[in-house]
Structure 1
Amino acid sequence: MDKGNLDHKLFLFFLEDHITFFTNKVDTDVHQHHYIQVTLSLDKMFTVEIEQEVFQTSGIIIDSNKPHKLQGTNGWQLYVLVNPESSFGETLHHKLEDNGFYSFDYIDMALLSKFKSIESLQQYKQFLQQLMETLQLHKIEAHSPLDPRIQQVINYIGNTQFEEITIKKLSEYIFLSESRLSHLFKAEMGISLTSFLVHEKLKRAFLLIFTGMKMTDAAIEAGFHSSSHFTRSVRDKLGMSPSSIRKDSIYLKV
């Protein structure tokens, strides 16, 4: 697939602690969301508004729940939305300034252009590692093997209908108290179990949507109470509506 020749598309990557967009279709009103946002230009500068300060930049990190507006001006940008509770999120926090954002003076366009040819998880991780080093962010350390109980939980979540999943059921499944499971999960995964479940529901819903299922049906199938519950969750986590993500978009699960 030649991504470089496609117009007005959005490519969507879901991983355990972050979501990555590659798009030329984002022009937002003032909004805020749960994730720490990294936006990097692949060709030309874009316009950002934060707390009535308007400026142009080639790259920026914006803190969680920080109101902002972005005008992509039809250029291609890479968006990385990172769960602030994750170790990746903590790494980004070290780069943020007191005003809640950090603008980059230089972006390696040649490196960013490599994103267009990613076809596998290994390639994506290599790209992300190179990107972190280029942006002078602390290197993401490899995780030690997961506690087998947490691996059991992750496997259970992946093989079970979400409407049947609760923290109580998960704790009973591995014979731990709810508080102990929550603490252990955060320690092992760098993200709270509650946030992980919401993230997984979103991932499952969009996978169903991009394979042809109607949005309402996909939301219910993925474990949301209703389509409105799904829409609120998407706006809270991603800062966009589900319909704007679905339109002219391509989902790449790596």
Structure 2
Amino acid sequence: MSKSKVYCEPFCIQKGYSFEIHHVSYQADDPYSCFMHFHQVHEIIVFEKIDGTYFYSQGQSQLKDQDIVFIPSLETHDFELTADTKSWYIIQFLPEFLSQQALPELDSFFQQGMHLRMDTSQLESFSIQVKWLLDSYQQDPYSEKSLTILKLILIWLAEHADPVKPPQLTTVQKSANYQRLQPVMNLFRHQAAVELPLDEAASLCHLSPSYFSRLFKSVFRCNFSEYANQHKLYSAARLLSQSNMSITDIAFELNFSSPSHFISLFKKQFGLTPKKYKTEMESRIRA
């Protein structure tokens, strides 16, 4: 993972920050992977170059250049992107930022996941604001200027962006086929590692193991054991980037069978060892 390629999925805001912003870019055929996941912070992604599909609470929709997505705290989401060149800005901010900055009128807008598009005339001004925010953040993320620009961006989105609607959006069927998985997903939302056999997970959702397996894969596009394993690895990435815990302590904290097994799985998922990952993240934070 090069310094210019920030994985958005494993990270949340650094302790003491109200928000973070990064610019992410991939050349054609650069490795990129994602899985159905969630954050404990609100997230805005402003795409520059993109081709793929966005999966979120409202359904799924096709992404195109200059699209914007908003993902609220604890909402599961995923991206399936082509191997073409792609780039975006990612902004993560604390849910309480709106009340802290006296913006309660925006609460109703930022309630659920949204795939947004903006009129060209408004998009040009919005894109400039995002670049201003990145520049100000790199100078001083605590400054009044940084916080003011972020407030402007949120106000601009609420006033000028429109959600994508059918037929561009394929809506989720709000039925037992989706809702019955929520008991087990609530465990993932509140635990860094979920050690639950498939039959117990199915029982928690009042489903047979075979039906639970089929249902889980249809919703999350991977099987339950794969999701549980990836959830642990993404939790490990957060701990590496946000704590002083050793690799050994993280391995045992998240119930990996051994530190060596943890290192092997982590390298397979992220393309580098936990030690190298932590070093590169510390370098990015200092930059």
TM-score normalized by the length of structure 1: 0.50
* CA displacement at 1:155 relative to structure 2: 0.6
Counterpart residue number, 1:81: 33
Q: Among the aligned pairs, what percent are the same residue?
A: 18
Residues 8 and 248 in structure 1, CA contact (< 8 A), matched pair in contact too: yes
Q: Which has the higher contact order (CA 8 A, sep 6+)?
A: 1
Residue correspondences, number: 169
Structure 2, gaps ≥5 residues long = 11-21, 37-52, 56-61, 64-79, 96-109, 118-167
Question: Which whole-Å CA distance do the structure 2 matches of 1:60 and 1:213 have between them?
Answer: 35
* Paired position in structure 2 for 1:239: 271
Residue type at the aligned position of 1:199 = Q
2:216 to 185, 188, 198: 185
| Structure 1 partner of 2:252 | 220
1:184/1:211 CA distance change after superposition, 3 Å: same
- Cα offset for 1:203? 1.7
For residue 88 of structure 1, report the CA deviation from its aligned partner: 5.8
CA offset at residue 219 of structure 1?
1.7
Q: Measured at CA, do residues 200 and 142 of structure 1 come closer, stay the same or move farther in structure 2, by a change above 3 Å?
A: farther
Distance in 1 (CA, whole Å) between partners of 2:169 and 2:28 is 19
CA distance, structure 1, for counterparts of residue 239 and residue 226 of structure 2: 20
Measured after TM superposition, the shift of residue 11 of structure 1 is: 3.9
Q: Which residue of 2 is the match for residue 14 of structure 1?
A: 9
Structure 1 position 148 matched with structure 2 position 179: yes
Q: Deviations over 1:61-92 (max 9, x none)?
A: 36xxxxxxxxxxxxxxxx742349xx769x89
Q: Show the counterpart of 1:195.
A: 226
| Kept in 2: contact 1:157–1:165 (CA 8 A) | no
TM-score between the two structures when normalised by the length of structure 2: 0.45
Instruction: Report the 3-state secondary structure (helix = DSSP H, G, I; strand = E; otherwise coil) of the residue aligned with 1:40.
Output: strand
- Two-structure CA RMSD over aligned residues (Å): 4.4
- Superposed, which structure 2 residues align to 1:28-177 within 5 Å? 40-41=25-26, 59-61=27-29, 80-83=32-35, 102-104=83-85, 112=88, 114-115=89-90, 117-119=91-93, 141=170, 143-145=172-174, 147-160=178-191, 162=193, 164-177=195-208
Partner of 1:206: 237
* Local SS of the residue matching 1:212: coil
| 1:24-60 deviations in Å (ceiling 9; x for gaps) | xxxxxxxxxxxxxxx835xxxxxxxxxxxxxxxxx21
Aligned residues of 1:171 and 1:177 also touching (Cα < 8 A)? yes
Secondary structure at the aligned position of 2:236 is classed as helix
Q: Which has the larger radius of gyration?
A: 2
CA distance in 2, matches of 1:155, 1:248: 32
